[in-house]
Amino acid sequence: MPKMSKRMGPVPVEPVTIDGLRIEVVHWGSVLGVEQNGGYLHAINVTSEESAWTLQVYKIEYDPNKEMDVQDVFITSLSLTEGGLEVTDELDRHYLVDLQNKEVTQLTP
């Protein structure tokens, strides 16, 4: 009988720093007390190391008939742009986060 292999964990994403905030990707929902893995950003004040905000970039619709870990979608990159912070997930969807208003616009389907 062949072994069932579990999905590999997400690749670490380098945080970005802007206006005194270090913005990090949160891969594991348990860190935030949520059930979704992937799709979250967390901003930390670089001086005080205190949490500034947490933002859900996208929502994952889990199928209860499938294993949860194979449905997780993780953020793969962050980059600062003129319009804010561009976030890319492993399905190659792109989002733009307005860092002033914490609003997310999906750039690609």
- Summarised one tens digit per residue, pLDDT across range 7-23 is 778 999 999 999 999 99
- What mean pLDDT, rounded, does the chain reach? 92
The 10s digit of each residue's pLDDT in 30-44 is 888 998 999 999 999
With a cut of 90, say whether residue 109 has pLDDT above it.
Answer: no
The 10s digit of each residue's pLDDT in 60-97 is 999 999 998 899 999 999 999 998 999 999 999 999 99
Fold of 16-106: Thrombin, subunit H (2.40.10)
Euclidean distance between CA atoms 102 and 87, whole angstroms: 13
**Closest to 85 (Cα-Cα) out of 68, 65, 102, 66:** 102
pLDDT value, residue 1: 42
DSSP 66: S
What are the CA-CA distances from residue 93 to residues 4, 10, 64, 73, 89 (Å)? 28, 16, 23, 10, 6
Label residue 6 by pLDDT band (50, 70, 90): low
